[in-house]
Structure 1
Amino acid sequence: MMPTQQWAVKSKNRSMQVGDRVVVTNSIKNGLIELKPMDSGVIVYLEDQSRATVWFRHFGCFVDDPIIRVLQVYANNKQNGNLDGMTVELEKESLAIEYKDSQREDFYHITVWEDKALDIPFFQVNNKYRVQPSIEQKNAQSEWEPMYKYDLWQIIDIIEYGFNEWIKEVVLRDVLKEGKEVSTYLNLSDESCKEIDAKKKELELACAKATGVFYDFAKRA
């Protein structure tokens, strides 16, 4: 096969489907409509695979929501005709599909290029897992070099191992600092718990951006 530029080659993604729960991977602002990374919604309409209409229930839930004030409606669950969220059309690149264990077979075929996976914390090159297709790209020196990809599950395995090893270091730090045994995640100091939660969110967002899949990484101490 002739060498091909990286941008011309796509990894395998899972097709979006109506009913999929998705998370937003970047900040979106259009007038009063604001979405933050990791806001969660449900796909309610698809015309093709480039964009999706997503229902976000959190719109209109609070009395200080500017949308509530502009529409002059009540944020009251008992109100007949109550505003129940809003739908927003978003590009596929701004969304990641939430992984469901009951649908795990739908995620088996997903592959991700190594250069994208390297943007995820705790991911490291793994010669056992990496697959080299008959494709090359030019490096910074304009030399052709092979492109590698991984199955989604291989990436998750690598990240989970690295994340849990990092948590063990946080636990050990607490043990040495507090001078007492810390046997579980729940027994950690508030400072360490916040640090782990922040790292988990950072990890999940980076993984969602790189793979197009939101995966809830477990916290194991």
Structure 2
Amino acid sequence: MRTPVVIDGLHLRWFVPPKLGETVHWGLAWNSASPRRWAALEPKWSQTADVRASSKLLMRRLTAGPKADVLAQPSIGRAGALQFMFNADLPVPAQIAVSGALTLVAGTPRKNVAARQMWADFDSDAITVGVIRRLRLVSIASDMLPNARLPHGSNWGWASRQFVSGTERVYELAHPPDTLASYQLTDRVNGLHRESFLLVDLETARRPDRKTRCTR
């Protein structure tokens, strides 16, 4: 079973770049924005996972006002040997359907405090063991665009940085980059911006092996 995993420039600075054929022990994550955010990368990928609550404490998801804030339970999705963390609305569902891509939260650490902290924050029961089968460099442009997910009215609203559809550029890689570039495309403040990501095909077993724990 192959799963697309996105690594951004920040996490590539914190963790060792993966190599083709390498077996990795990773902490992965998904959120409700992933299907929209990563839709163009692997549009046919989706997975239904069984869900169990993590031992991590409840999270508070901010909304338009403090009285409307929503509590969410850090949870673990599992499909075969693939595992990932996400914040589930209460009550925690028995299953979840995910799409878009997963993101790397914790990997093979470089010697820095941030990498150690990411492992400390990640639930060790949610580790995924898999093999790197494909590496691609993805470059996507983004801009400040109206965001209907944020509070808005008929003639006002909030903007957020979002990917611009159709600007994706994808390159096959034989070796991973050590860093990922990002740069401004215009002189406009908060204007058009291009950012690179490492897209990994992670192969995992369709059936889980024995329980895997990882201590950092």
Asked if TM exceeds 0.5, the reply is: no
Bigger Rg, which one: 1
Greater percentage in helix: 1
Greater percentage in strand: 2
**TM-score under structure 2 normalisation?**
0.30
